[in-house]
Amino acid sequence: MTLYIVPVPIGNLADITRRAIQVLESVDFLVAEDTRRSARLLTHLGIRKPVMSYFSPREKEKSAAILKRLAHESCALISDSGTPVISDPGFILVREAIARKIPVVPLPGPTAFVPALCASGLPADRFLFVGFPPRKKGERERELRVLSAVPHTMIFYESPRRLMDLMAALLQEFGDRPYALARELTKRNESIIRGRLENYPGDLEAEPLLGEMVLVVGGRPAGQTASQDPQINTREDILLLLEERFKLDRNRVRSAWMRKS
C-alpha cells in the first residue's frame, strides 16, 4: 500500500502537525523505534494502532516482516523524536519499499538540527550535517581532521557524556571557531549556548549537560590553514575522504567548495 514517514515532536507535543495526526489515525499500523515511547505519544493523541518495533541492529530482519504487511496495508514510520531516518533507523526500510515500488510519502515536521542551525547565528546558506561522530577517539580525531578543511557550517549530534570529549577534539583539530550548543530544544530546559571553542570549558562549566545535544560549529575561515595531516594535504584528498565517509557526490562537493573557498 503506502509507507508514510511521519515526524513527531522532539519535545513539545504541540509541535505535532495536523497532517501527521491524520496519517497516524488513517494507517493500518505503525513502525516505531521504541514502542514504549511511541505509546506515550499515541496515548496523548488518543490514537490506538498496532505498533511494530524497528531498531538497530535488527533493521534488515524487521524490514522483511514490515514489507510483507505493506503489500496490502498502509504504515507510518515514526522515530522516538523528530524526523525518522535522520540519525535514526529507517533507511533500509525506505530503500526496500522503493525497490518494491511501494509508495513512500514523506511528511515535513520537527527535527532537531534545523532549529539549532537557525538559532546558532552561524551561516546557514550551506552546511554539512555530520550527525554523530565516531565514538572511538582515533576515528573521531581522523574524521575531524578531514572536516577541519570544510568551509561550511557543520552540525553534530552528541550524547551528554561524550560532549566534552568532542569539544576538546574540535578545538585540537579545528582551532578556535565559533560554536552554538542547542540543548533540550522545545523542552522546559531549552537553552542555546553560543561562544568560541577556545572558551568552551568556561562556557559549559555551570551548564547541566543533560538531554539531547546539537552542536553547530563554524566552517574553516578564509585564510586559515587546513590540517597538516600528510594524508589529506590536498583538496583532492579531502574530497575523496568526504566522499567515502559521508557518501557525498564528488562533483557536487567540488562545485560547492569552489564557490565557497
Q: Write down the pLDDT at residue 226.
A: 55
User: Which residues are paired to 3 by β-bridges?
Assistant: 75, 104
Strand partners, 4: 76, 105
Residue 95's alpha-carbon distances to 33, 73, 100, 103, 194, in angstroms, are: 17, 18, 9, 11, 38
Fill in the DSSP letter of residue 247. -
CA 203 centroid distance within chain: 24
Rounded to whole angstroms, how far apart are CA atoms 180 and 94? 32
Q: What is the pLDDT of residue 209?
A: 82
Cβ–Cβ < 8 Å for 197, 186: no
Buried b (16+ CB within 10 A) or exposed e, 129-158: bbeebeeeeeebebbbbbbbbbbbbbbbbb
CB neighbours of residue 48 within 10 Å: 9
Distances (CA, A) of 254 to 203, 224, 242: 35, 19, 10
Instruction: Write the pLDDT tens digit of every residue in 78-105.
Output: 999 999 999 888 999 999 999 999 999 9
What is the rounded CA–CA span in Å between residue 170 and residue 7? 31
Q: CA–CA separation, 120 vs 54, rounded Å?
A: 33
Q: What pTM value is reported for the model?
A: 0.84
Q: Map residue 26 onto helix, strand or coil.
A: helix
What pLDDT does residue 222 have?
A: 80
The residues, ordered by sequence, that sit 6+ positions from 133 with a Cβ below 8 Å of its Cβ are: 140, 143, 144, 156, 158, 166
> What pLDDT is recorded for position 167?
96
The three cell numbers of residue 158 are 552528541
Q: Which helix (H) or strand (E) holds 183?
A: strand 178-183
Domains in the chain: ranges and CATH: 3-106 (3.40.1010.10), 113-260 (3.30.950.10)
The one-digit pLDDT tens for each residue of the chain (261 residues) are 999 999 999 999 999 999 999 999 999 999 998 889 899 999 999 999 999 999 887 888 889 999 999 999 999 999 999 999 998 889 999 999 999 999 999 999 999 999 999 999 999 999 999 999 999 999 999 899 989 989 999 999 999 999 999 999 999 999 999 999 999 999 988 999 999 999 999 999 888 888 889 999 999 988 766 555 545 545 565 666 666 655 555 555 555 555 545
Using alpha carbons, list the distances in angstroms from residue 29 to 48, 80, 171, 235: 9, 16, 46, 48
Of 34, 26, 19, 39, nearest to 73 (Cα)?
Answer: 26
